[in-house]
Amino acid sequence: MKTTLYERIFSCGETELKLGQATLIMGVLNVTPDSFSDGGRYIDSDRAVQHALQMIEDGADLIDIGGESTRPGFQQISTEEELQRVLPVIEAIHRAAPHIPLSIDTYKAEVARQSIQAGAHIINDIWRGIGDPLMLSTAAELSCPIILMHNRHQQRYTHLIPDMVDDLKESIELAIRAGVAQHNIILDPGVGFAKDYDDNMHVMMNLDVLVQLGYPVLLATSRKKFIRTALDLPVDDVIEGTAATVAFGIAQGCQIVRVHDVKAIKRTVRMCDAMLYASHDMN
């Protein structure tokens, strides 16, 4: 098996995030009252920080902080409210663990700007840079990595994978035109966004196509509905299902995985890496 692996070094304040040596684990920290799996659990700043530190101890390489739920039918909130939720948490985690890169899960340019200024290092945009006309220029100005996640308003595809490729190429072109450095671009297939069960399964079978676009790919499948549907299990009982998707993604070249259950998935990732990087050493 020959899997494409990209080598990147992302500058993250006092530390670096290195791709190409091991699969990176992004721990999910939702500071929202209504997220689909852990809504309300970490809206208290102290509890949020404690959970972030636990994920770091369990093996997370970076922490993704979100202040607005992105579950289906989510209620949009104002920029001000989102900032009130995320800034205290970003500042507190940055003080407690300045060596850990932080990403801000937002599609709002002003939230991204203030979060980076408060101690975050990466923008994680569920609208691939097109949800806010100022997002890409903001990312360029801040010279920070940006994750462009596939999404669209209408779930209408002529051919799913080619259409996704076209959408992501559009976002990449817009980002570069806005001044975002190519080496700061990361892609996300957007599993669960504008996609039904069959679409998600098709995406999972074709992750390598997105990897071949030439940018690192982040896979975010943790606890998502297509896993719960496949296994007919509740949201808090799908660690094995999530682990299976993670392993399948790593085998196709995904280099960052975004998960809730860091400790268990860390073991999955280590075993995948033991096989994957051994195969590369032999080539």
Among all residues, which ones are annotated catalytic? 224, 258
Tokens of 97: 């663990």
User: Do residues 12 and 101 make contact, with C-beta atoms less than 8 angstroms apart?
Assistant: yes
Half-sphere exposure of 105 (CA within 13 A, CB side): 24
User: Do residues 223 and 242 make contact, with C-beta atoms less than 8 angstroms apart?
Assistant: yes
For the beta carbon of residue 102, count every other beta carbon within 10 angstroms.
26
Angle between helical axes of 109-118 and 135-142 (0-180°, round to 10) = 20
- 173-177 long-range contacts, Cβ below 8 Å, gap at least 24? 174/129, 174/130, 174/136, 175/129, 175/136, 175/139, 175/140, 175/146, 175/148
Q: Give the three-state DSSP class for 70.
A: coil
User: Considering Cα of 200, then 205, then 209, then 210, what sign does the dihedral take?
Assistant: positive
Give the angle 240-28-127 at the CA atoms, nearest 5°: 110
User: Considering Cα of 47, then 223, then 9, then 175, what sign does the dihedral take?
Assistant: negative
